[in-house]
Amino acid sequence: MYKKLRMKMLAVRIEWHWGFIMRGRKKGNHLLEKGPPYTSDKILRLSKRVDRHCNSISRLTNKYIELAKNDQILPCFNMKGEALCRHN
């Protein structure tokens, strides 16, 4: 029971971080359409923020997979972070 709850919480946290990444990508595309150089302060700050969320997803996905292996449950995320199933 605890492992399933823990896995559910990890899945929610992973989805939460993906939301930040998708929003950051949208902002980044909008900034790049305006035409500033790739080394502008705004783009670098946005990149750092997105990178933090990417690192968090990687760490949380590894934890999720370890729990799934220990419990013989099919992981809901592959190593690329792509969802294989959705939690309700």
Is position 55 within any domain?
Answer: yes
Q: Encoding tokens for residue 88?
A: 């309700």
Per-residue pLDDT band at 79 (split at 50, 70, 90): low
pLDDT on residue 88: 38
Q: Encoding tokens for residue 51?
A: 């990178």
**What confidence tens digit (pLDDT) does each residue in 9-41 have?**
999 999 999 999 999 999 999 988 988 888 889
Q: Encoding tokens for residue 28?
A: 């980044």
Ordered DSSP codes for 54-78: HHHHHHHHHHHHHHHHHHT---SB-
Per-residue pLDDT band at 52 (split at 50, 70, 90): very high
Q: Do the beta carbons of residue 67 and residue 7 sit within 8 Å?
A: yes
Is position 11 within any domain?
Answer: yes
Is position 85 within any domain?
Answer: no
pLDDT on residue 49: 94
Q: Domain range spanning residue 24?
A: 2-71
Q: How many domains does the chain have?
A: 1
Query: Position 1: which residue type?
Result: M
Beta bridge partners of 83: 77
Is position 78 within any domain?
Answer: no
pLDDT averaged over every residue in the chain: 83
